Structures are given as C-alpha cells and as structure tokens.
Chain A
C-alpha cells in the first residue's frame, strides 16, 4: 500500500488515475521514495548499514584501531584471537584486527578510483557511439571487443606486469578491464532510446543532438548504469584483491586484504586459520555489501522493474 501512495509502482490495472499530492518537488519525492525502499526492504537497509560500517572503517579506521597495524611484537607472534587481540596476531606479532580495519581504506580507494575512471570514460564513449553510430561506433566497438577477447583478470595481470608493479597501475588495469561493461551498457541504453518518441519530439522542439544526448537520453540511461556501478564495485574489489593475492601491486607490510589472505594461506595447513580468515571475511563482506546495494539501488531508481 505504501507504493500506491507514492504513485510509482502500481500494476497497470489500477494505473488509470494515480493519486499524487499536488506540487511536490523532485527532491523531496525522491527522498521519500528512498525512505520507502529502505524501510520496506530489510535487505537493502542491511546493505546501507554495512556500507556505513565499511565507509567509517575506511575514513576513521587508523584513528579507531587499538594497535599500530605495522608494529611488530616478537613476544606476541601467532596468538589466536583473544580479548587483547580480537582477530589474533600474525607471524610478526602484528594485530590482525587493526590491520583488517586499516586495510579498508586502501581497498576502497583502489576500487572506487578504478570504477570512477571506467565509468566516466566508458559511459562517455558508449553514449557517443550509441547515439551517433557510424565509424565512431565501429572503432569503440572494436576496442571493447579487443579488451573482451582476453580473460579479464589475465589481461589485468599482463597490464600490471608491463606497466610496473605499483598500486596506481592496479587501478589503471582494473579500470581498463571494466571499461567494456560501461561502454556496452551506455551504448545499449542510449541506442534503444535514440529513436524513441520523446527523442524525436525533442528534435522537433529544436534541441540539438548534443543537447538531446546530454539532457534527454543520458538521464534516462543513468539509473540502470547506477546499478551496474554498484555491482561493479564488488567485482573491482575482488579483482584488486586477487591481483595483490598473487603478489602484484601492494607490497608488504602494507595492510591490504588480498595480500593478508595470501600471507595467511601459508599457515592454513598448520591450522593458524585467523590470519587468512579475518581479512578474507572482510573482503567478502565488502563485496557482498556492494552486490546487495546494487539490488537495492535498482529498487530506488527503477521501481517498475523490481524482481
């Protein structure tokens, strides 16, 4: 019944005369819808709570943690989880909990930067090639095909190996392998609307091509792309962690989830599980959060297509 009050998500049968409060600004309507989605779907609410936790760890982490994540302690090596060390200590006596929390910032920076880069370039390229078509479309399409012709993680490995083993290059490599998704998505979303009635009408109203693309088509293509961004964030985190797991990018002793799991893996066969499990769980939780968020975002931006 809530949705009905919004006048947004009604089945066709009763859509004839929706009831909408008079003169409501777009922003307040949108906020109300966000609140409605959050309260009606506990899973989305959970995702937002988790996101808040991860973001605060990333921003405030170094100030919050009980130990210096780089401080070694010879007397405290390989201690299992306890009250003093919630997640135990590693082979050098460093506090695993502190390291896991502090690592959130680096992992988020890598994935946010990579996704931002590929979103900006990918959606611009995709939108232009989808709208204008022609040689520009062919060129962009060929570029994407070439990137997609590689298994993506393998291409990222090759790029980092060639550009040099640094964190910046991890970001570029992750951005490049993500690029085709945004290009194709933006291209498809723009292409289906290119000859829609409302675009033709905008042409008749005297809008130029660029104006139509920027003001009429792109805002309508944005919602499905937002969902993609969120799902992609999870994937970007996984990729970056995978690269550092095999020893690319981040170097010890910098705390980062992938490399911590890799170091912990050496001790798992002898039963020291906490070294690998806690950073692994943190990684999983972060990816899970962004995936849940993707579904939640879809509900907010695209109420008609809920599953």
Chain B
C-alpha cells in the first residue's frame, strides 16, 4: 500500500443552479484511487456518479459548481486550481472516455487530426512527427489499416471503432489516471467486451489507475478491484469487488445486487425481499400431447430494404439489403420465447412483421391458423386478429401519447376494438387492468411526463393486455429501466403470463434477462437464426460459435 493515493476526493459536494432553485447532485462524497488501482463507481441514473467525475475533471457545465470538499491529485488541489493548470492536467495527467462514442468525436474533423490535436496541445509531438505518432496510437488501439483510418471521419467508423479512437485520444499523452464514464453503454455485448479488455490491457501495461463509472454492477465487478456504490448523490458503500457480491452491507447495495440478473438465479431472486407468498411462477410445461398446434408459426420470413443510394448509383450496386433473411420458428400456446441478438441482427424487424406493423417481402406468418402475413399492415387495424396480437414497446416514454392521460392510453384499445362505449364501463375495466399491473388508481389521471419510468412501463403493459391477447410481443421492455425497476417489471410480466395464459415473444439483446423469463431462446445474427433451443440448453451447452461468443461476452462477476 502506497502512503499517498493518486486521487483523493474528500467531502465533495456539487450543486446545480436550476430554474427551481439549487439542486445538490453530489453530497459529501469521499473517494480514493491508489496508483495502479481500478475503482468502479456504480449507481442507477441520478446517483451522481457521472457528476462526481466531471467535478474531478472540472468540466461541470456552467450551472454546476463544487460547493464544498477537496479533490487532490498527486498533491495538486484540483478543486481550486485555475484553468491554466487544469488544461495541463486534463489529457496529460487525467483523461476521460465517454459513453456514446460517435457523438464524442468532432463530426467534421478527421480522427487522426483529433488525436494530433491532443498530442500537440501537450507538446508530445511536433508538427513533423504528429502524424506518425497518431498512427502509432491507432495501431495501439488495434485499428486495422491505421494509415487509412487516420483520414477517416467519425461517421465512416462503427461505434466500437469510434470508442477505440476516444481511447487513443485519452491515452495519447500517457496520463496516470483514466476515467471511463459508461464507456460501453449502447455498444453490443461482444464489442463491449473487446473495448473493456483493451482498456484493461493498456492501462495495466502502463500502470495507470482507472475509474470505471457504470450502472452495471456485473461489469464493474468483473473489471474493478474496488467498488464504490452511490445512491442519490451519496456513497453508500465502498468495498472490494468480491465482497460487494458476497456480502453487501448496505441495504441499497443488497437491493442493487439482488436485482442484477446473473447466472444461476431465478426470476424471484431479483426481488429485494421476496415475500413468502411469491411462489416461483409456474414453469410452462409442454403438454404431453406432442402434436399440440403452435399459436404462431413463421416460415421463411424475409424482409428486404432497397440499399441506400442504390437508385442514385445505378444498376451495378442494385440489389437489396436483407434485414431478415428467411427465418422460421413456432411459438406454442402459453410458451415464452426469447429472440436474442445484437443490434442490426433483424430481431426488431422480425417482431414488427409478426405484429403486422410491417409487411414482409416474402414468407408466411400463421397465427391461430390464419396466414396473417398476407393481410397488408395498413388494413390490419380492422382485422379480428388485431386484439389477439399485442405488444409492449421498448421505450415507455416514447410509446405513450404525451397528450393522453394514463387512463386514456389504456382505454384506447377498449374503445376502438374492445367494444366499450360508455365511460363508466371503460373506467371499471381500466381500473381492473391497473390492479393487474399494480398501478395505483390515482395515477390514472396523470400525463406521461408526470409518471416515473416504472409507472410508464406499467401503463404500457396494461394497454397491451387490455384486449386479452393470445400473443404478446415484448420489445426490449426493460432496456431503458434501472435494474431495480427491471426486476419488478420482469416479475410482473411472469405473473401476468401465468394469470392470463398468454404466449410471449421476448425480444432482447441481453441473454441474462431473456433466460429468466423464457422457456426457449432463438439466437439471431445478420438476419438469420443461428440457434434455437431451450433456455437451459443455450446457457449451459450452446452449440453455435456465435452463441458461445455472446455468452462469453456477458460480464461475469466473481462468484
């Protein structure tokens, strides 16, 4: 143990001036990072974890200020250092990588020049050797063909590549501390793993210290030595990564810990204090009669889009991009099937076609013994099957009309399809639905912006089950929610399925979540199905190489 930590934050308080007065975003935070150590700061949205790091870098926006406390970096007091000193420290001593890498790069400047800017600012290169050094850095972060990529603009690179460029900028001047603010949020799991492994490898080789800010306890536990848990602007627990998982002390950490989906647990384990009454949801059993007819049967489904610019460029590149490339699968009554893949694999396109919001290019969709794929999407609103086929959307904010109250949102399908005509009748039905999704009645008269994320998700679910559908498509219903809310929503979905006997098609990128809710899992890659098997089988003995890669990329906390 070295006597002096590299970074020492003591009693840090950050306030923001808003139109509604002063808001304290971070209060009395203590944090130390030793040389060579990797520290994770974990918390849900609004916990103040990012603000803490901006305060350390002194890049809070104009409305925010350090109200109290000290930040010391190897003997230098950062909290009251002047701008000149801070500019020397930023990028050279402490650097930072951000989430949403594509937006974090200047869109109209070549990436090589952006690396050079940092090198030259901190006198690490002269105009003569800057280009050479920038290319060396590109090579360091494993960018293929660095000489050509030096000239690329950010829009020409993938998200993962952009994040590598950001890492190159951050490491260009060999800083002693790297702050990574949700560096992999929004990236696919396999890319996430590659980026994190690169960061760890490079920082270790240079004996750097790292602060990893994330909402993902699993990710933090896998890569960090020590974890700091924050809630509502305060540090609630600091402990070595292993201990956080084995014996979390603070009730909040315990809740967060238990709500994090991980291998070897059941859906009920996610809930903080499992009430005795909450029996495990009954497992769906394939009925002994093996000839049972599927409720949904998809055969050779294809969706093609004209290639961007194909018309302009003429015939030579004409041809279409196949978003969904001939997939077939069945869903049995009462079964819950997971559709898993990374972004762009065609899973959302598939769900939109099954939902009859999008017309397939070819193939059949048989639902309850009718080929509904042949009915044009624009006429499907009047089809009798409409009420049997409903959906819960990814972003609960986006999926609620801002001008409709929760009541009106839930009542809309009842009025349009459910044959309800009188207000009192609708009120009674909506209140029953609200009870089913555990939404207090007094919230029914609120508008979406007056509801929390979890409450909006419940409204979306209530609307979807209002017509008692036979098949419910869940399109990443918990992706935008904090883990603790996700845990509750997932359990609610499991209970509703048991109660109403629906089938689920659960679309998600997260195998750990899918496994908890689904009986069977379909893995998609580049528009095709690479593997489908029972959830148990997929997790324990995946057959396809891509499935194995996906599984290996899922963060594994030390157990």
Direct contact of A and B (CB under 8 A): yes
Q: Which residues on B sit within 8 Å (CB–CB) of A22?
A: 442, 445
B358 CB to closest chain A CB (Å) equals 10
Say yes or no: B394 contacts A197, CB within 8 Å.
Answer: yes
Q: Which of A164-197 contact B (CB under 8 A)?
A: 196-197
Instruction: Looking at the assembled complex, report how far the CB atom of B463 sits from the nearest CB atom of chain A, in whole angstroms.
Output: 7
Given contacts A4-B20, A201-B399, A207-B381, contact A13 B393 (CB under 8 A): no
Q: Is the CB of A208 within 8 A of B401?
A: no
**Interface residue from A13, A17, A200 paired with B399 (Cβ < 8 Å):** A200
User: Within 8 Å of chain B (Cβ to Cβ): is A205?
Assistant: yes
B391 at the interface (CB under 8 A from A): yes
Please report the C-alpha to C-alpha distance between residue A202 and residue B403 in the assembled complex, in whole angstroms: 13
Q: How far is the CA of A208 from the CA of B399 in the complex (A)?
A: 17
What is the chain B residue whose CB lies nearest that of A198? B401
Complexed CA–CA distance, A20 and B448 (Å): 12
User: Is A20 a contact of B416 with CB atoms below 8 Å?
Assistant: no
Q: Does B499 contact A (CB under 8 A)?
A: no
Interface centre among A3, A198, A220 (most CB of B within 10 A): A198
B388-423: contact bitstring with A at CB < 8 Å (1 yes, 0 no)? 011101111011111110000100110011000000
- Does A151 belong to the interface (CB within 8 Å)? no
Check: B386 CB closer than 8 A to any chain A CB: yes
| Among B20, B394, B446: residue with most chain A CB under 10 A | B20
Any A CB within 8 A of the CB of B23: yes
Give complex CA distance A115, B21 in Å.
40
Question: Which residues 1-52 of B have a CB within 8 angstroms of A?
Answer: 16, 18-21, 23, 25, 46
Give the chain B neighbours of A162 by CB distance below 8 A: none
A204 pairs with B355, CB closer than 8 A: yes
When distances are taken between beta carbons in the complex, the residues of chain A under 8 Å from B395 are: 197
Alpha-carbon distance A207/B403, docked complex (angstroms): 16
Tell me if A10 counts as interface (CB < 8 A to partner B).
yes
Residues of chain B contacted by A203 (CB below 8 angstroms): 357, 380-381
Residue of B nearest to A222 (CB): B403
A204–B20 contact, CB under 8 A? no
B378 contacts the other chain (CB 8 A): yes
The contact string, 1 if C-beta is below 8 Å from chain B, for chain A 135-165, is: 0000000000000000000000000000000
The B-contacting residues of A in range 1-54, CB under 8 angstroms, are 1, 3-4, 7-18, 20, 22-24
B417 and A206 contacting across the interface, CB-CB below 8 Å: yes
In the complex, the chain B residue whose C-beta lies closest to that of A2 is B20
Q: Which residues of B contact A17 (CB under 8 A)?
A: 452
Q: Is the CB of A205 within 8 A of B46?
A: no
A196-B398, A198-B399 as given contacts; A205 in contact with B445, CB under 8 Å: no
Complex Cα–Cα for A220 and B403 (A) = 7
Asked if B62 CB lies within 8 Å of chain A CBs, one says: no
Whether the pair A206, B386 counts as a contact (CB closer than 8 A) is: yes
Distance in angstroms between the alpha carbons of A12 and B460 in the assembled complex: 21
Q: Determine whether the beta carbon of B391 is less than 8 Å from that of A204.
A: yes
B402 engages A220 (CB within 8 Å): yes
CB < 8 Å: which of B390, B396, B401 contacts A202? B401
Q: Which of B347-365 contact A (CB under 8 A)?
A: 355, 357
- In the assembled complex, A271 has its CB within 8 A of some CB on chain B: no
Contact call B463/A200, Cβ cutoff below 8 A:
no
The answer to whether A206 and B20 have CB atoms under 8 Å apart is no
User: Given the interface contacts A203-B357, A206-B386, A206-B416, does A1 sit within 8 Å of B400 by beta carbon?
Assistant: no
Q: Assuming A197-B399, A198-B402, A208-B381, what are 13 further A-B pairs, CB within 8 angstroms? A: A9-B20, A11-B20, A13-B16, A17-B452, A18-B450, A197-B396, A197-B398, A198-B398, A201-B460, A204-B391, A205-B412, A205-B416, A220-B402
Known contacts A7-B450, A205-B413, A220-B402: does B393 contact A200 (CB below 8 Å)? yes
Give CA–CA (A44, B416) in the complex, Å: 41
Which A positions have Cβ atoms within 8 angstroms of B? 1, 3-4, 7-18, 20, 22-24, 196-198, 200-209, 216, 219-220, 304
A209 to B396, CA, bound (A): 22
Chain B nearest CB, measured from A302 CB (Å): 11
Contact A11 B357 (CB under 8 A): no
Measured between beta carbons, the chain B residues less than 8 angstroms from A200 are: 357, 391, 393, 399
Q: Does B382 contact A (CB under 8 A)?
A: yes
Taken residue by residue from 409 to 448, chain B's Cβ proximity to chain A (1 for < 8 Å, 0 otherwise) reads as 1001100110000000000000000000000001001100
- A20–B401 CB distance below 8 A: no
Q: Given A201-B393, A206-B386, are A3 and B398 also a contact pair (CB < 8 Å)?
A: no
B387 on the A face (CB < 8 A): yes
Interface status of B293 (Cβ within 8 A of chain A): no
Min CB distance A28 to B, Å, is 13
- Cα distance A7–B396 in the bound complex, in angstroms: 19
Q: Determine if B387 and A206 form an interchain contact, defined as CB atoms under 8 angstroms apart.
A: yes
The answer, yes or no, to whether B449 is at the interface (CB within 8 Å) is yes
Question: Which A residue's beta carbon lies closest to that of B20?
Answer: A4
Residues of A within 8 A of B442 (CB): 22-23
Q: Report how far A16 CA is from B45 CA in the complex, Å.
A: 11
Contact B20 A202 (CB under 8 A): no
- Least Cβ–Cβ distance between A223 and chain B, in angstroms: 9
CA distance A12 to B16 in the complex (A): 12
